[in-house]
Amino acid sequence: MKQMLYLLHPVLWVLPMVVLMLTEKETFKCSSNHNCTCYKREDSGIVFADCSNLKLQSAPLFNDENVLGKVLEDDNSGNTFRNLVKLTTLNLRSNRIFRLPPAIFRNLNQLETLVISDNSLSEFSVPIGNMQRLKRLDLSNNQLLFLDEKTRNAIDSLSRKKILHVNVTGIDNLVQVMEKHCVSYIVTIVILTSLIFITLTTIFGRILYRYRWKLRYMYYVAREKYRDNVENLDGTTGSSFHFDAFVSYAEKDRRFVIKLVKQLEKEHNLKLCIHHRDFIPGTGIAENITNAIHNSRRTVTIMTSHFLDSYWCMFELNMARMEAIYSRNGENILILVVLEKLAIANLPFSFIDLIESNSYQEFPENGDDSEESAFRLKLAATLKSREGDFRTSSSNGAA
Protein backbone atom coordinates (compact mmCIF):
# COMPACT_ATOMS: atom_id res chain seq x y z
CA MET A 1 0.00 0.00 0.00
CA LYS A 2 1.38 3.37 -1.06
CA GLN A 3 1.74 5.80 1.83
CA MET A 4 1.19 9.53 1.40
CA LEU A 5 1.69 12.37 3.86
CA TYR A 6 -0.72 15.33 4.01
CA LEU A 7 0.37 18.15 6.28
CA LEU A 8 -2.41 20.57 7.20
CA HIS A 9 -2.49 23.15 9.98
CA PRO A 10 -0.69 23.59 12.28
CA VAL A 11 2.22 21.96 10.38
CA LEU A 12 1.95 24.08 7.24
CA TRP A 13 4.85 26.43 7.46
CA VAL A 14 7.54 24.56 5.66
CA LEU A 15 7.51 20.95 4.60
CA PRO A 16 5.02 18.20 3.78
CA MET A 17 7.74 15.66 4.58
CA VAL A 18 11.10 16.48 6.03
CA VAL A 19 14.00 14.35 7.12
CA LEU A 20 16.19 16.82 9.00
CA MET A 21 18.71 16.06 11.69
CA LEU A 22 17.65 18.93 13.94
CA THR A 23 19.00 19.63 17.40
CA GLU A 24 16.00 21.59 18.60
CA LYS A 25 14.73 20.39 22.00
CA GLU A 26 10.97 20.67 21.68
CA THR A 27 9.62 17.41 20.26
CA PHE A 28 6.03 16.17 19.98
CA LYS A 29 3.85 13.83 17.95
CA CYS A 30 2.44 15.40 14.84
CA SER A 31 -1.33 15.77 15.01
CA SER A 32 -1.75 14.88 11.35
CA ASN A 33 0.26 11.66 11.48
CA HIS A 34 1.28 9.96 14.73
CA ASN A 35 4.08 8.06 13.05
CA CYS A 36 5.95 11.34 12.45
CA THR A 37 7.85 13.37 15.00
CA CYS A 38 7.54 17.14 14.82
CA TYR A 39 10.13 19.70 15.81
CA LYS A 40 9.42 23.31 16.51
CA ARG A 41 12.18 25.87 16.21
CA GLU A 42 11.81 28.34 19.05
CA ASP A 43 13.66 31.08 17.22
CA SER A 44 11.33 31.10 14.22
CA GLY A 45 8.29 29.12 15.31
CA ILE A 46 8.60 26.93 12.22
CA VAL A 47 7.46 23.33 12.65
CA PHE A 48 9.38 20.48 11.00
CA ALA A 49 8.15 16.91 10.60
CA ASP A 50 10.47 13.89 10.66
CA CYS A 51 8.69 11.10 8.78
CA SER A 52 11.73 9.07 7.82
CA ASN A 53 10.18 5.90 9.21
CA LEU A 54 7.24 5.98 6.80
CA LYS A 55 9.25 5.13 3.66
CA LEU A 56 7.03 7.49 1.71
CA GLN A 57 6.55 7.12 -2.02
CA SER A 58 4.54 10.32 -2.46
CA ALA A 59 4.57 13.62 -0.65
CA PRO A 60 1.98 16.00 -2.15
CA LEU A 61 1.39 19.47 -0.78
CA PHE A 62 -2.19 20.74 -0.78
CA ASN A 63 -1.79 24.16 0.74
CA ASP A 64 -0.70 27.04 -1.48
CA GLU A 65 0.45 29.24 1.39
CA ASN A 66 3.52 27.27 2.46
CA VAL A 67 6.93 28.94 2.37
CA LEU A 68 9.33 26.08 1.69
CA GLY A 69 11.64 28.36 -0.26
CA LYS A 70 13.20 29.69 2.94
CA VAL A 71 14.39 26.25 4.01
CA LEU A 72 15.17 24.71 0.64
CA GLU A 73 17.42 27.45 -0.65
CA ASP A 74 19.72 27.05 2.39
CA ASP A 75 20.01 23.27 2.02
CA ASN A 76 23.23 23.12 0.02
CA SER A 77 23.98 19.57 1.21
CA GLY A 78 20.70 18.02 0.10
CA ASN A 79 19.66 16.84 3.57
CA THR A 80 15.99 17.78 3.16
CA PHE A 81 15.13 14.81 0.94
CA ARG A 82 18.21 12.72 1.74
CA ASN A 83 16.40 9.62 3.10
CA LEU A 84 13.42 9.66 0.72
CA VAL A 85 15.14 7.34 -1.74
CA LYS A 86 11.86 5.65 -2.75
CA LEU A 87 9.91 8.84 -3.29
CA THR A 88 8.10 8.87 -6.66
CA THR A 89 6.11 12.12 -6.48
CA LEU A 90 7.22 15.47 -5.13
CA ASN A 91 4.93 18.50 -5.32
CA LEU A 92 6.47 21.83 -4.31
CA ARG A 93 3.92 24.07 -5.99
CA SER A 94 3.35 27.59 -4.62
CA ASN A 95 6.05 27.66 -1.98
CA ARG A 96 7.71 30.96 -2.81
CA ILE A 97 10.86 29.22 -3.96
CA PHE A 98 13.38 31.65 -5.41
CA ARG A 99 16.35 29.30 -5.67
CA LEU A 100 17.07 25.59 -5.48
CA PRO A 101 20.57 24.37 -4.52
CA PRO A 102 22.12 21.92 -7.01
CA ALA A 103 22.22 19.04 -4.47
CA ILE A 104 18.63 19.38 -3.26
CA PHE A 105 17.29 16.33 -5.21
CA ARG A 106 20.47 14.24 -5.28
CA ASN A 107 18.96 11.08 -3.68
CA LEU A 108 15.58 11.12 -5.45
CA ASN A 109 16.55 8.50 -8.02
CA GLN A 110 13.07 6.92 -8.11
CA LEU A 111 11.23 10.18 -8.70
CA GLU A 112 8.62 10.06 -11.48
CA THR A 113 6.83 13.37 -10.96
CA LEU A 114 8.44 16.65 -9.95
CA VAL A 115 6.20 19.71 -9.64
CA ILE A 116 7.81 23.08 -8.88
CA SER A 117 5.19 25.27 -10.55
CA ASP A 118 3.89 28.65 -9.38
CA ASN A 119 7.11 29.71 -7.67
CA SER A 120 9.64 32.46 -8.33
CA LEU A 121 12.54 30.55 -9.83
CA SER A 122 14.63 32.67 -12.18
CA GLU A 123 16.81 29.71 -13.13
CA PHE A 124 16.65 25.94 -12.86
CA SER A 125 20.10 24.39 -12.73
CA VAL A 126 19.38 21.39 -10.51
CA PRO A 127 20.84 18.13 -11.91
CA ILE A 128 18.07 15.72 -12.91
CA GLY A 129 20.15 13.18 -14.77
CA ASN A 130 19.88 10.79 -11.80
CA MET A 131 16.07 10.70 -12.14
CA GLN A 132 15.99 7.97 -14.76
CA ARG A 133 12.28 7.27 -14.12
CA LEU A 134 11.15 10.87 -14.39
CA LYS A 135 8.00 11.19 -16.48
CA ARG A 136 6.75 14.65 -15.60
CA LEU A 137 8.60 17.88 -14.89
CA ASP A 138 6.42 20.90 -14.18
CA LEU A 139 8.20 24.28 -14.13
CA SER A 140 5.22 26.33 -15.24
CA ASN A 141 4.45 29.81 -13.98
CA ASN A 142 7.90 30.66 -12.70
CA GLN A 143 10.15 33.56 -13.66
CA LEU A 144 12.68 31.49 -15.55
CA LEU A 145 15.03 33.43 -17.79
CA PHE A 146 17.02 30.48 -19.11
CA LEU A 147 17.70 26.78 -18.81
CA ASP A 148 21.40 26.04 -18.71
CA GLU A 149 23.00 23.65 -21.19
CA LYS A 150 23.39 20.79 -18.69
CA THR A 151 19.69 20.89 -17.82
CA ARG A 152 18.67 20.94 -21.48
CA ASN A 153 20.99 18.04 -22.24
CA ALA A 154 19.60 16.06 -19.30
CA ILE A 155 16.03 16.64 -20.50
CA ASP A 156 16.99 15.55 -24.01
CA SER A 157 18.70 12.43 -22.66
CA LEU A 158 15.72 11.43 -20.51
CA SER A 159 13.23 12.06 -23.31
CA ARG A 160 15.14 9.69 -25.61
CA LYS A 161 14.65 6.83 -23.14
CA LYS A 162 10.98 7.40 -22.34
CA ILE A 163 8.20 9.91 -22.81
CA LEU A 164 8.96 12.90 -20.61
CA HIS A 165 6.35 15.64 -20.23
CA VAL A 166 7.95 18.99 -19.51
CA ASN A 167 5.61 21.87 -18.68
CA VAL A 168 7.13 25.33 -18.99
CA THR A 169 3.97 27.28 -19.73
CA GLY A 170 3.55 30.73 -18.25
CA ILE A 171 7.19 31.69 -18.72
CA ASP A 172 6.93 33.97 -21.71
CA ASN A 173 10.32 35.55 -21.07
CA LEU A 174 12.09 32.21 -21.35
CA VAL A 175 10.13 31.29 -24.46
CA GLN A 176 11.19 34.51 -26.12
CA VAL A 177 14.82 33.99 -25.14
CA MET A 178 14.79 30.38 -26.37
CA GLU A 179 13.08 31.29 -29.63
CA LYS A 180 15.67 33.97 -30.21
CA HIS A 181 18.48 31.57 -29.30
CA CYS A 182 17.25 28.72 -31.47
CA VAL A 183 16.11 30.67 -34.51
CA SER A 184 18.14 30.25 -37.67
CA TYR A 185 19.97 33.38 -38.73
CA ILE A 186 21.20 31.94 -42.01
CA VAL A 187 18.80 33.99 -44.14
CA THR A 188 19.50 37.16 -42.14
CA ILE A 189 23.25 36.61 -42.35
CA VAL A 190 23.08 35.98 -46.10
CA ILE A 191 20.98 39.10 -46.68
CA LEU A 192 23.18 41.32 -44.50
CA THR A 193 26.35 39.92 -46.06
CA SER A 194 24.95 40.53 -49.53
CA LEU A 195 23.94 44.09 -48.66
CA ILE A 196 27.36 44.82 -47.18
CA PHE A 197 29.07 43.29 -50.21
CA ILE A 198 26.91 45.27 -52.64
CA THR A 199 27.46 48.50 -50.68
CA LEU A 200 31.23 48.04 -50.50
CA THR A 201 31.38 47.02 -54.15
CA THR A 202 29.38 50.11 -55.15
CA ILE A 203 31.59 52.42 -53.09
CA PHE A 204 34.76 50.76 -54.38
CA GLY A 205 33.44 50.91 -57.93
CA ARG A 206 32.65 54.62 -57.63
CA ILE A 207 36.14 55.31 -56.28
CA LEU A 208 37.72 53.34 -59.10
CA TYR A 209 35.59 55.12 -61.68
CA ARG A 210 36.37 58.54 -60.28
CA TYR A 211 40.11 57.95 -60.23
CA ARG A 212 40.29 55.54 -63.16
CA TRP A 213 42.54 57.72 -65.29
CA LYS A 214 44.85 58.53 -62.42
CA LEU A 215 45.16 54.85 -61.52
CA ARG A 216 45.85 53.88 -65.12
CA TYR A 217 48.39 56.63 -65.46
CA MET A 218 50.22 55.70 -62.27
CA TYR A 219 50.19 52.03 -63.21
CA TYR A 220 51.78 52.57 -66.60
CA VAL A 221 54.28 55.11 -65.27
CA ALA A 222 55.41 52.72 -62.54
CA ARG A 223 55.60 49.83 -64.99
CA GLU A 224 57.73 51.74 -67.45
CA LYS A 225 59.91 53.14 -64.70
CA TYR A 226 60.85 49.74 -63.31
CA ARG A 227 61.49 48.36 -66.77
CA ASP A 228 63.83 51.24 -67.52
CA ASN A 229 62.08 51.75 -70.84
CA VAL A 230 61.71 55.45 -70.12
CA GLU A 231 64.76 57.58 -69.47
CA ASN A 232 62.83 60.44 -67.95
CA LEU A 233 59.49 59.85 -66.24
CA ASP A 234 59.54 63.02 -64.18
CA GLY A 235 59.34 66.28 -66.13
CA THR A 236 60.23 68.24 -63.02
CA THR A 237 63.82 66.96 -62.96
CA GLY A 238 64.95 69.44 -65.58
CA SER A 239 66.37 66.80 -67.96
CA SER A 240 65.65 67.03 -71.70
CA PHE A 241 62.74 65.32 -73.45
CA HIS A 242 63.05 63.00 -76.42
CA PHE A 243 60.37 64.85 -78.38
CA ASP A 244 59.07 68.37 -78.57
CA ALA A 245 55.53 67.02 -78.80
CA PHE A 246 53.48 63.88 -79.03
CA VAL A 247 50.76 64.22 -81.67
CA SER A 248 47.50 62.45 -80.84
CA TYR A 249 45.09 61.90 -83.73
CA ALA A 250 42.47 59.56 -85.15
CA GLU A 251 43.48 57.16 -87.89
CA LYS A 252 41.01 58.78 -90.32
CA ASP A 253 42.90 62.09 -89.92
CA ARG A 254 46.27 60.47 -90.59
CA ARG A 255 46.88 62.15 -93.98
CA PHE A 256 46.49 65.66 -92.52
CA VAL A 257 48.76 64.80 -89.58
CA ILE A 258 51.56 63.37 -91.73
CA LYS A 259 51.60 66.55 -93.84
CA LEU A 260 51.54 68.81 -90.75
CA VAL A 261 54.30 66.87 -88.99
CA LYS A 262 56.59 66.95 -92.01
CA GLN A 263 56.15 70.71 -92.35
CA LEU A 264 56.77 71.39 -88.66
CA GLU A 265 59.84 69.16 -88.53
CA LYS A 266 61.30 70.57 -91.77
CA GLU A 267 60.43 74.25 -91.39
CA HIS A 268 60.84 74.64 -87.62
CA ASN A 269 63.29 71.89 -86.73
CA LEU A 270 60.88 70.19 -84.31
CA LYS A 271 61.04 66.56 -83.28
CA LEU A 272 57.56 65.11 -83.07
CA CYS A 273 56.27 61.69 -81.99
CA ILE A 274 53.45 60.01 -83.93
CA HIS A 275 52.25 56.53 -83.15
CA HIS A 276 52.42 54.93 -86.60
CA ARG A 277 56.09 55.89 -86.90
CA ASP A 278 57.62 56.14 -83.42
CA PHE A 279 55.84 53.61 -81.24
CA ILE A 280 58.00 50.66 -80.13
CA PRO A 281 56.96 47.37 -81.80
CA GLY A 282 56.04 44.56 -79.41
CA THR A 283 55.02 46.97 -76.64
CA GLY A 284 51.39 47.38 -75.62
CA ILE A 285 49.45 50.34 -76.99
CA ALA A 286 48.78 51.81 -73.55
CA GLU A 287 52.45 51.54 -72.58
CA ASN A 288 53.56 53.14 -75.85
CA ILE A 289 51.14 56.02 -75.30
CA THR A 290 52.29 56.63 -71.72
CA ASN A 291 55.92 56.40 -72.81
CA ALA A 292 55.40 58.90 -75.64
CA ILE A 293 53.59 61.42 -73.41
CA HIS A 294 56.30 61.19 -70.74
CA ASN A 295 59.07 61.73 -73.24
CA SER A 296 57.41 64.71 -74.95
CA ARG A 297 57.38 68.31 -73.77
CA ARG A 298 53.85 68.84 -75.10
CA THR A 299 50.93 66.75 -76.31
CA VAL A 300 49.07 68.01 -79.38
CA THR A 301 45.59 66.63 -80.07
CA ILE A 302 43.98 66.97 -83.49
CA MET A 303 40.35 67.54 -82.54
CA THR A 304 37.80 66.10 -84.96
CA SER A 305 34.63 64.06 -84.62
CA HIS A 306 36.77 61.00 -85.40
CA PHE A 307 39.01 61.83 -82.45
CA LEU A 308 36.07 61.99 -80.02
CA ASP A 309 34.77 58.64 -81.28
CA SER A 310 38.09 56.86 -80.79
CA TYR A 311 38.75 55.04 -77.50
CA TRP A 312 42.52 55.31 -77.81
CA CYS A 313 42.37 58.99 -78.70
CA MET A 314 40.38 59.70 -75.54
CA PHE A 315 42.82 57.52 -73.62
CA GLU A 316 45.71 59.67 -74.89
CA LEU A 317 43.83 62.85 -73.96
CA ASN A 318 43.21 61.64 -70.41
CA MET A 319 46.76 60.38 -69.95
CA ALA A 320 48.10 63.78 -71.04
CA ARG A 321 45.93 65.46 -68.41
CA MET A 322 47.17 63.06 -65.72
CA GLU A 323 50.76 63.75 -66.79
CA ALA A 324 50.20 67.48 -66.40
CA ILE A 325 48.60 67.13 -62.97
CA TYR A 326 50.77 64.50 -61.32
CA SER A 327 54.17 64.74 -63.04
CA ARG A 328 54.45 68.34 -64.25
CA ASN A 329 53.07 70.17 -61.20
CA GLY A 330 50.00 71.39 -63.05
CA GLU A 331 51.93 72.72 -66.06
CA ASN A 332 49.74 73.00 -69.15
CA ILE A 333 51.24 70.53 -71.61
CA LEU A 334 48.09 69.85 -73.63
CA ILE A 335 47.37 71.74 -76.86
CA LEU A 336 44.20 71.25 -78.88
CA VAL A 337 44.26 71.81 -82.64
CA VAL A 338 40.68 72.13 -83.85
CA LEU A 339 40.01 70.92 -87.38
CA GLU A 340 36.24 70.76 -86.92
CA LYS A 341 34.40 73.36 -84.83
CA LEU A 342 31.71 70.79 -84.10
CA ALA A 343 34.29 68.73 -82.24
CA ILE A 344 34.66 71.52 -79.65
CA ALA A 345 30.90 71.60 -79.11
CA ASN A 346 30.88 67.84 -78.50
CA LEU A 347 33.91 67.84 -76.21
CA PRO A 348 33.18 66.08 -72.87
CA PHE A 349 32.31 68.40 -70.01
CA SER A 350 35.44 67.38 -68.08
CA PHE A 351 37.59 69.03 -70.77
CA ILE A 352 35.77 72.36 -70.93
CA ASP A 353 38.53 73.92 -68.83
CA LEU A 354 40.89 73.42 -71.79
CA ILE A 355 38.67 75.66 -73.89
CA GLU A 356 38.27 78.20 -71.10
CA SER A 357 42.04 78.37 -70.63
CA ASN A 358 42.41 79.13 -74.39
CA SER A 359 44.87 76.24 -74.88
CA TYR A 360 43.54 75.46 -78.34
CA GLN A 361 44.09 76.61 -81.90
CA GLU A 362 41.73 76.42 -84.85
CA PHE A 363 43.17 75.36 -88.17
CA PRO A 364 42.14 77.94 -90.81
CA GLU A 365 39.31 76.58 -92.95
CA ASN A 366 39.75 77.18 -96.68
CA GLY A 367 42.78 79.29 -95.80
CA ASP A 368 45.54 80.15 -98.26
CA ASP A 369 49.18 79.18 -97.84
CA SER A 370 49.98 82.30 -95.81
CA GLU A 371 47.27 81.55 -93.23
CA GLU A 372 48.39 77.94 -92.90
CA SER A 373 52.01 79.08 -92.61
CA ALA A 374 51.04 81.51 -89.85
CA PHE A 375 49.17 78.69 -88.08
CA ARG A 376 52.26 76.45 -88.19
CA LEU A 377 54.50 79.30 -87.03
CA LYS A 378 52.30 79.99 -84.01
CA LEU A 379 52.04 76.30 -83.17
CA ALA A 380 55.81 75.79 -83.48
CA ALA A 381 56.52 78.78 -81.23
CA THR A 382 54.19 77.35 -78.60
CA LEU A 383 55.81 73.93 -78.76
CA LYS A 384 59.28 75.43 -78.29
CA SER A 385 58.28 77.72 -75.42
CA ARG A 386 57.89 76.72 -71.77
CA GLU A 387 54.39 78.19 -71.70
CA GLY A 388 51.58 76.02 -73.00
CA ASP A 389 48.81 78.62 -73.34
CA PHE A 390 48.19 80.51 -76.52
CA ARG A 391 45.32 82.41 -78.09
CA THR A 392 44.67 81.61 -81.70
CA SER A 393 41.33 81.13 -83.43
CA SER A 394 39.88 81.38 -86.88
CA SER A 395 39.32 85.09 -86.40
CA ASN A 396 42.94 85.84 -85.58
CA GLY A 397 44.64 82.87 -87.11
CA ALA A 398 47.03 85.05 -89.09
CA ALA A 399 48.15 86.97 -86.08
Q: pLDDT tens digits, residue range 207-257?
A: 887 777 777 777 766 666 655 544 444 444 445 788 999 999 999 999 999
Domain end: 175, 199, 233, which one?
175
> What value does the mean pLDDT take over residues 268-292?
89
Cα(213)–Cα(195) distance, integer angstroms: 28
Q: Give the single-character DSSP code of 25.
A: S
Q: Name the average pLDDT for the chain.
A: 76
CATH of the domain at 77: 3.80.10.10
Rounded percentage of the chain residues whose pLDDT exceeds 90: 20
Residue 21 included in any domain = no
CB of 290 within 8 A of CB of 220? yes
Residues near 363 by Cβ (< 8 Å), separated by ≥ 6? 337, 338, 339, 372, 375
The reply to whether omega before 127 is within 30° of 0 (cis) is no
244 with 363, same domain? yes
pLDDT bracket for residue 387 (50, 70, 90): low
167 with 220, same domain? no
Selection from 64, 43, 54 nearest residue 19 by Cα: 54
Range of the domain at 135: 27-175
Cα(360)–Cα(338) distance, integer angstroms: 7
Residue 241 included in any domain = yes
299 with 346, same domain? yes
Quick one: pLDDT at residue 173? 67
CB of 339 within 8 A of CB of 253? yes
CB of 335 within 8 A of CB of 360? yes
Residue 399 included in any domain = no
Domain end: 152, 175, 198, which one?
175
221 with 87, same domain? no
255 with 329, same domain? yes
**CA-to-CA dists, residue 267 to 250, 324, 374, angstroms:** 24, 28, 12
What are 77-131's pLDDT values in tens digits?
888 888 888 888 888 888 888 999 999 999 899 999 999 998 988 888 899 989 9
Report the domain count for the chain. 2
229 with 168, same domain? no
Tell me how crowded residue 211 is: count the other CB atoms within 10 A of its CB: 13
**CA-to-CA dists, residue 47 to 28, 37, 65, angstroms:** 10, 10, 15
Residue 142 included in any domain = yes
35 with 120, same domain? yes
Alpha helix ranges (H) inside 121-185: 149-161, 172-182
pLDDT over 70 at 1, yes or no: no
Q: Give the single-character DSSP code of 215.
A: H
CB of 300 within 8 A of CB of 237? no
